Amino acid sequence: MAINDQLIEELAEMTKLEFSDLEREEIKNDLNKISSFMEKLSEVDTDGVEPLIYLTDEPNILREDIVGDMMTKEEVLSNAPSHDSDYIKVPKFVTHRS
């Protein structure tokens, strides 16, 4: 994959981020390193290797799901910076694609 200025521009546009010239160069260098590493991984012979689902053979130890003390609606709303009678109010956040 070619990591060039156009790709960095497209990534910046998709992520709604702005980068300085220095940051663009650093990102380009980092992405080139990642791409080189991935290419190196593709050289590894994985024939006959089973996919790794878990990092360990140890079983996962889960705790009991026990219902404890719960807060009332009034207690929850009293901790919210902004609320009405029933809901926590948050700033409106809308994204759109060009």
64 occurs within a structural domain: no
What is the mean predicted confidence (pLDDT) over 79-87?
90
User: What confidence score (pLDDT) does residue 21 get?
Assistant: 93
1-42 pLDDT tens trace: 789 999 999 999 999 999 999 999 999 999 999 999 999 988
- DSSP at 51: P
Q: Which domain holds residue 12?
A: 5-42
**Mean pLDDT estimate for the chain:** 89
Instruction: Report the C-alpha gap between 88 and 71 in whole angstroms.
Output: 15
Report the predicted TM-score, pTM, of the whole model to 2 decimal places: 0.48
Give a yes or no: residue 20 inside a domain. Answer: yes
Short-list 21, 16, 27, 5, CA closest to 98: 16
Tell me, yes or no, whether 54 lies in a domain. Answer: no
Domain assignment present for 27: yes
Place of tokens 């991984």: 41
For residue 95, pLDDT over 80 is answered with no
Q: Has residue 68 been placed in a domain?
A: no
Q: Is residue 48 part of a domain?
A: no
Task: Write the DSSP assignment of 55-90 as a string of letters.
Answer: S-SSPP------------HHHHHHHSSSB-SS-B--
Give the pLDDT of residue 18. 92
24 part of a folded domain: yes
Number of structural domains found in the chain: 1
User: Looking at the predicted structure, is the pLDDT value of residue 98 above 70?
Assistant: no
Locate 79 and state its tokens: 């901790």
